[in-house]
Structure 1
Amino acid sequence: MSKIASGTALITGASTGIGATYARKLAAAGHDLILVARDAQRLAALASEISAAHGVKAEVLKADLTDRAELAAVEQRLKDDAAISVLVNNAGMAVAGTFLEVDIDKVETMVSLNVVSVLRLAHAAAKAFVARKAGTIINVASVLALAPEMFSGPYSGTKAFVLNLTISLQRELADKGVTVQAVLPGATRTEIWERGGTDINSLPAEMLMEVDEMVEAALTGLELGEAITIPPLPDFAEFEAATAARLKLAPNLSRKDAAARYKAGKKAA
């Protein structure tokens, strides 16, 4: 894992699913761990398992990242602990249902977790890593950042935020010794579905990736130097073409005159 800075990895949402799988794989590569989630019992069991299997130090840091005081404690740990060289910004949640039907308070909690915590932890890590001229930030987004038509707008919007933040950070930190990667999983077999109110068994088997395969692909993408890794995408050139088409818009997105189509047929006053 040459692209990952050596040292301790702090992983959010580490009690299960993608976060727990990152923990196991990074521990196998020799990283000490700080495991962050709300479920202290599950974290403790995972920490014991990992320490026994790989001989690394695995610390539990219980925190609800939607609670500003508990989020601030994790931020402070990132700022103060010089051993931390990797942030896996993975914690997230989904809320099923149409916009008109959904519990808007749950959506606000989702925005707090998927956006605010990712933003603040990335900021804390970036400042600490830049000061040391070394570090790796992995932000877990979703393919729905690219396809809002496929799921609820609020959820895909939170993941679009993570993707845009990551792209901006990559440009800002490129010459400062810090690697930043966005990971865009497709549908992955984790507990997020049930927690969000969706029956995972309702998904077509051919579109559901096992979590171990997803994380292994994400780490391989990091080794390959990918700024954005989309594990299920067969031909990465398709994403590159979409990016090129988006960038082609740039010169025409801000001009002093409105486009001609908005003036066509306009009568003189």
Structure 2
Amino acid sequence: MNSKQYTMITGASSGLGKAFAIECASRGMHIILIALPGSNTVSLGQSIALQYGVDVQVFEFDLTDRDALHRHLAHITGHYNVSFLINNAGMGGTSHMAETTVEKIDQIIQLNVRGTVLVTRLLIPHLLKNEKSYIMNISSMAAFTPIAFKTVYPASKAFISSFSLGLKEEFSGTGLSVSVVYPGPMMTNSHTSRRIIGQGFKGKMGLLSATAIARLAMRKTLAGQPTIIPGFMNRVNHLLMSVLPVEWKSRIVSREVKKEIQYA
């Protein structure tokens, strides 16, 4: 096995995953990038390796394909010492539940929930071989509130939150530290940018760049902080929303989210 320590990042081809890849490389960390086939991640990995002088390994496969997931992770854990896992891969969307295809709903669940859990379970024995290791799971501010017209996505992110905090407690006293990050709005692509801009001032509250979120999340995860909410306005929003009855905050947030349907 390669004696170097690696950070493995899922959903690494663009957006927050790409920002994590660059942030880790800038810290001198060797990285393993996981992304969908055809996502140009090989080119990204070559560019990062050349710029930062770190080893970059790229694996392109679909995390919802159980056989591919097991096969590739068996190869990775057999050849590379992974000491840091960043579960970033995820997907969502905005639409009426009755108009959302069963296939889309299943894909969100398979990627956000099953994919995250299986990757974590398969990596934990190898993470524990290191004197110090880390898991960073990416949840969302959406995890704190049931949201109409998204429904499955915030539920999946609430799962990630609960799953991460349970792991944190389970592995307390070991060398494995678990953190969960709750990002707010990010302009990661043209679709999300149109959606955020379309919401006006409210949509831009708590807006941070993927680079800023990655930098903060890395610093606090390495410091062992269990829950991370990037951005002052997002922390204020979470505090204010936490005192409202769930029906009220769900109604308030859902009313704003409904405006996103035109951009879906």
TM-score tier (shorter): 0.7 to 0.9
TM-score, normalised to structure 2, is: 0.80
Cα distance in 1 for residues equivalent to 2:52 and 2:39: 20
Match of 2:67 among 66, 69, 72: 69
- Identify the residue that residue 103 of structure 2 maps to in structure 1: 105
TM-score, normalised to structure 1, is: 0.79
User: Cα gap change, 1:62/1:241 in structure 2, threshold over 3 Å: closer, same or farther?
Assistant: same
Query: Which of 87-96 and 214-223 deviates more?
Result: 214-223
SS of 1:51's equivalent?
A: helix
Percent identity of the aligned residues? Answer: 26
Question: How far did residue 225 of structure 1 move?
Answer: 2.8
**Equivalent residue letter for 1:206:** M
Question: How far did residue 83 of structure 1 move?
Answer: 1.8
- Does residue 176 (structure 1) correspond to residue 174 (structure 2)? The answer is yes
Unaligned runs of 5+ in 2: 243-264
- Identify the residue that residue 199 of structure 1 maps to in structure 2: 195
Question: How far did residue 208 of structure 1 move?
Answer: 2.7
Question: How far did residue 39 of structure 1 move?
Answer: 3.6
Query: Which of 162-171 and 225-234 deviates more?
Result: 225-234
Query: Which of 80-89 and 7-16 deviates more?
Result: 80-89
- Identify the residue that residue 55 of structure 1 maps to in structure 2: 53
- Does residue 42 (structure 1) correspond to residue 40 (structure 2)? The answer is yes
For the Cα contact (< 8 Å) 1:75–1:120, is it kept in 2? no
Unaligned runs of 5+ in 1: 1-5, 244-269
Cα distance in 2 for residues equivalent to 1:159 and 1:136: 20
- Does residue 210 (structure 1) correspond to residue 206 (structure 2)? The answer is no
**Equivalent residue letter for 1:18:** L
SS of 2:160's equivalent?
A: helix
- In the TM superposition, what are the counterparts of 1:1-269 in structure 2 within 5 Å? 7-40=5-38, 42-149=40-147, 152-191=150-189, 194=191, 199-203=195-199, 204-234=203-233
Cα distance in 1 for residues equivalent to 2:237 and 2:173: 27
Cα distance in 2 for residues equivalent to 1:148 and 1:166: 19
Cα distance in 2 for residues equivalent to 1:237 and 1:126: 34
- The structure with the larger Rg is 1
Query: Which of 198-207 and 96-105 deviates more?
Result: 198-207
**Equivalent residue letter for 1:90:** N
- Identify the residue that residue 253 of structure 2 maps to in structure 1: none
Question: How far did residue 57 of structure 1 move?
Answer: 0.9
Cα distance in 1 for residues equivalent to 2:114 and 2:61: 14
Question: Aligned Cα RMSD in Å?
Answer: 2.7
User: Cα gap change, 1:40/1:83 in structure 2, threshold over 3 Å: closer, same or farther?
Assistant: farther
**Equivalent residue letter for 2:166:** S
Query: Cα deviation per residue 1:96-147 (whole Å; 9 max; x = unaligned)?
Result: 2122221121010110000001000111121222244431111111111112
Question: How far did residue 217 of structure 1 move?
Answer: 1.8
Paired residues, what number?
236
User: Cα gap change, 1:33/1:40 in structure 2, threshold over 3 Å: closer, same or farther?
Assistant: farther
SS of 2:9's equivalent?
A: strand
Query: Which of 88-97 and 74-83 deviates more?
Result: 74-83
**Equivalent residue letter for 2:205:** E
Cα distance in 2 for residues equivalent to 1:46 and 1:92: 19
For the Cα contact (< 8 Å) 2:217–2:230, is it kept in 1? yes
